[in-house]
A = this chain, B = another copy of it.
């Protein structure tokens, strides 16, 4: 069965069984989300950080302290993602396939929107999605654009990049702009140096993709931004998804499309 045709429950079962993979292209029509779980004492600051940086951190769902599921993610947040990154004192200390031992009773799980959500709409509009074509993870970059801080949380905006043929740039902007809850339109178009990206070939997260002649790089705000803030702010403990390895939730892409 093509992974595009799986339901979220079927995908979560595969990940629970040990499959580790980026999730772009999985579960056609179903929404993917960024996970960040932080200690309860930091939950207010993160919630306010999300409000203040809503383009990068569109809040889809929040769990109770210690909960391993949320309303939109009726699986087990400790096992049902295809990859996790564990942080201690702001440093990534482990990339792993499950976090049963690491999960703490004081962790509050947050789910933020992910731009994978509008990739089907891009394809339907004739806009190619290079990392899907190449079968790799989407490239993501730290920028020199600071987020608005909240309490101890501060850090750079993280963006995902998709190269788009010049004739289709306007289409890509328009189509993604219809999905404001999953990052919406690009935050930057063109020269990566303007937002502090030195080399597109060396992303901070994910894999590089080919940018062909006549293509313009488009940059979308990315839900890895809270993880960059966890790192920049030296947060004592946090668990995120492994970038590109998303939580697949029981919501439809179309739930997040503006009408």
Taking beta carbons and an 8 Å cutoff, which residues of A are in contact with B?
43-44, 47-48, 51, 59, 62
How many copies the complex holds: the figure is 2
Q: Which residues of B contact A51 (CB under 8 A)?
A: 47, 51, 59, 62
Given contacts A44-B47, A48-B62, A51-B51, 7 further A-B contacts (CB under 8 A): A43-B44, A44-B44, A47-B47, A47-B48, A47-B51, A51-B59, A51-B62
Complexed CA–CA distance, A59 and B51 (Å): 8
Most B CB within 10 A of own CB, among A43, A47, A59: A47
Complexed CA–CA distance, A205 and B51 (Å): 29
Q: Which residues of B contact A62 (CB under 8 A)?
A: 48, 51
CB A111 to nearest CB in B, in angstroms, measures: 12
10 A–B pairs (Cβ distance < 8 Å), ordered by A: A43-B44, A44-B44, A44-B47, A47-B47, A47-B48, A47-B51, A48-B62, A51-B51, A51-B59, A51-B62
Q: Which residues of B contact A59 (CB under 8 A)?
A: 51
Please list the 3 inter-chain residue pairs (A to B) with the smallest Cβ-Cβ separation, ordered nearest first: A44-B44, A47-B47, A43-B44
CB A143 to nearest CB in B, in angstroms, measures: 23
CB A23 to nearest CB in B, in angstroms, measures: 25
CB A100 to nearest CB in B, in angstroms, measures: 26
Most B CB within 10 A of own CB, among A44, A48, A51: A44
